[in-house]
Every structure is written in structure tokens, then in C-alpha cells.
Structure 1
């Protein structure tokens, strides 16, 4: 495995650099939509975006935020996690998710939660078998307007 580093993506230029990787997960987003949503999420929801770099090139991206609910108490919600399709199975997703786990421990947060699309069978195996996540619920969605 090549040397890697994990860096916070705080600048607009950083977000734009991460778009080609994030677009592999969020295929419905144009770059303009993505940029607007990241800006709002960062400013309103305390969304954090990090990238794992292989040399000086982004290989994987994770977006997450601290939340509080009655069900979980204080926890980290992983909104987005994607490894470049050309660099999968190299341990980069594991490194980024482990980074999120360590971030949670440093903040004295006991839980990390995420959802994954029903069609993403490989991701489900990764979360359950490799990372030790358990299924705790279904996520439901209702479109209420166009």
C-alpha cells in the first residue's frame, strides 16, 4: 500500500477537488449542486469533509457531522463515504472510517452511525464484516414535493 495522509477539506477549492470522487457516490449531483450543498452543510450543520490522499491525489472521501437524537444521544453520523472506483479494496475506506472512530473517541462520543443504500451489497459487507457495524433499523424516505 502506498503512503497515505488524511486531511480536512475546509476550502472551496478543496471541496471542488473532492467532487470527482464524491460524484461516484452522489451521481445525481452536478458540481454546482454539490458545491452549494457542501457549503450549506458546513455552515449550517457543522458537516466535516476529509479526504485520504495517496501521494497528492484524493483516493477516498468521508463527510460526517456530530448529532444528538433521543435514540442515539450524542453520536457521529457518517453522511458520505466513498473510495475512488480505481482504488477500492486497498484499505482506504477502512482507514477513513477508523479515522472517524478516532475522532469520535477524542470528542468522547460513543457511537458512529450511517446508512447505506439497499443496492450497495459490497458496502454492507464492508460495514458489517470488516468494520463491525450492526444493522439497527431501516431508513425510510418520502418525497413530499418536486
Structure 2
């Protein structure tokens, strides 16, 4: 049997819950698949979508994103989450997801694709540079709770 890779959105609750194990590697604060589903439901109201690379029906890489309009970037795709299952890294899944997000963004007249990563995450930064993303500033935040 050959592996079948497909690129598709997680549209149903079952699809989203099937993504939990991969997303949990990026977001360990998620307590359960049900917790993840509830958070995705809240974010969907803000335009969040979850695109996945699926291998034989199992999610192996994910990109959570939304289209946003603001004064800084104009219309753009913001990537909230980008993760490949640890066992599947090095197979081009992340590049494939970013390329598809670029295609989706261009179809919606977006000027750019934007994402944040930790200053200490040198491996991710190297990956983003290889994919054509450039560092254009620093992201600042403050705890409110």
C-alpha cells in the first residue's frame, strides 16, 4: 500500500479532534482534544481555519491561520500555528502548507503572510528564512492576568 498525502482543511469537529495529537506538540497547554475543539470553535468566529497535510487519513502537519485586515499590513494571512508531527519532519510538509497559504492569500488579494515565532526558536527561524519569510520586527506582549 502506498502513502497518500492530501492537503485539506479540518472542517468537521471530528477532523479537528483528529488534529489534536499533532497540535499538542506545538501547544502543550491544550488539556484534551475536547479543549482543543472548544478553542478552535471560538477562533473560527474570528476567521480561523485549520489546514492539514493528511497521510492515509491522519493529520501529519497543520497550519492554523486567518485572513486579517489591519493598518500595518493591509489584508494579510496570519499564521497562528504551524507544526509538523515530530515523526514526519523533513518531508516538506511545512513548506507545502506555507505554499498553499500563499496561494490562498493571493486568491483573497492579501499583500503578505505574517507569523510570529519565539526569539529563541532558531530552528524555526532558519526554516522560515529558507521558505522566503523575512524578519521585519519584534513582537512585544505583556501578561494581563
- Pairwise TM-score range, normalised by the shorter structure: over 0.9
1:1-146 matched pairs, under 5 angstroms: 2-31=3-32, 32-42=34-44, 44-129=45-130, 131-145=131-145
Gaps of 5+ in 2: none
Q: CA deviation at 1:29?
A: 1.2
TM-score by length of 1: 0.92
Cα RMSD (Å) of the superposition?
A: 1.4
Residue aligned with 1:45, SS: coil
CA deviations on 1:59-107 (whole Å, 9 max, x unpaired) are 1011100101111001000000100000001100000110100101111
Measure the CA separation in 2 of the matches of 1:105 and 1:71.
18
Deviation at 1:39, TM superposition (A): 0.5
Decide whether the 8 Å contact of 2:75 with 2:109 is kept in 1: no
Alignment partners' CA distance in 2, 1:54 and 1:122: 24
